[in-house]
């Protein structure tokens, strides 16, 4: 959300704010990427009734992020999570299982980071390969093999256990 045209972002926030002011909704919640969070963006968001920022922390392993071509680093995620919390927003970490080069252990480390970063909640997404994407090209030429459903379920259960042990709702 914070990566779209700034004027459009503000227009959408103003529209959502009217619903809050009329009592039709309690707060504004948005999702974004770590590399689209900075002080300027958070200052804008703090002018509205934004309470929760869902941050795409797909992995805290730079090798996974590079292999997946996510366009940001683990440090970007750490910086963004800290800024979100410092500005008083509720943080929700969105992570993925089954990304290229990921392992169950790297996924569990990502889940632990999300917990340690002070996330109020988490979302776990299995990788889905969409037609026309770079991930599809990687799959078709054999550079990436998506996890089979049983493996995705097992890996998801592993990270779910991390969140449960830390008391972070999923």
pLDDT band at 163 (very low <50, low <70, confident <90, very high): very high
- The pLDDT value given to residue 102: 96
Confidence (pLDDT) at 57: 97
* pLDDT at residue 69, rounded to an integer: 87
Q: Residue 26: pLDDT above 90? A: yes
Q: Which residue has the tokens 């910086």?
A: 79
Residue 32 is predicted with a pLDDT of 97
| Residue located via tokens 């009217």 | 18
Strands (E), the chain: 28-32, 50-56, 90-97, 121-126
Residue 96 has pLDDT above 90, yes or no: yes
Sign for the CA dihedral angle at 106, 54, 162, 144 comes to: negative
Cα distance between residue 111 and residue 168, in whole Å: 10
pLDDT tens digits, 98-121: 999 999 999 999 999 999 999 999
Provide mean pLDDT across the span 50-73: 95
Averaged pLDDT, 9-25:
98
Q: How many residues does the chain have?
A: 170
pLDDT value at residue 143: 93
HSE (side-chain half, CA atoms, 13 Å) at 74 = 16
Average pLDDT in the 134-158 region? 94
Q: Which residues pair with 97 in a beta bridge?
A: 126
Q: What is the mean pLDDT of the chain?
A: 96
């Amino acid at each position: 959300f914070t990566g779209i045209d700034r004027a459009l972002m503000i227009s959408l926030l103003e529209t959502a704010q009217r619903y809050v002011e009329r009592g039709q909704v309690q707060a504004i919640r948005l999702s974004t990427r770590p590399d689209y969070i900075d002080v300027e963006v958070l200052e804008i968001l703090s002018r509205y009734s934004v309470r929760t920022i869902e941050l795409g922390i797909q992995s805290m392993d730079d090798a996974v992020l590079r292999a997946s071509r996510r366009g940001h680093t683990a440090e970007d995620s750490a910086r963004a999570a800290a800024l979100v919390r410092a500005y008083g927003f509720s943080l929700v970490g969105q992570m993925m299982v089954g990304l290229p080069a990921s392992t169950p252990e790297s996924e569990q480390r990502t889940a632990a980071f999300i917990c340690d970063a002070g996330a109020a909640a988490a979302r776990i997404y299995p990788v889905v390969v969409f037609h026309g994407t770079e991930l599809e090209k990687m799959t078709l030429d054999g550079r990436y093999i998506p996890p089979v459903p049983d493996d995705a379920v097992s890996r998801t259960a592993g990270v779910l256990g991390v969140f449960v042990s830390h008391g972070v709702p999923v």
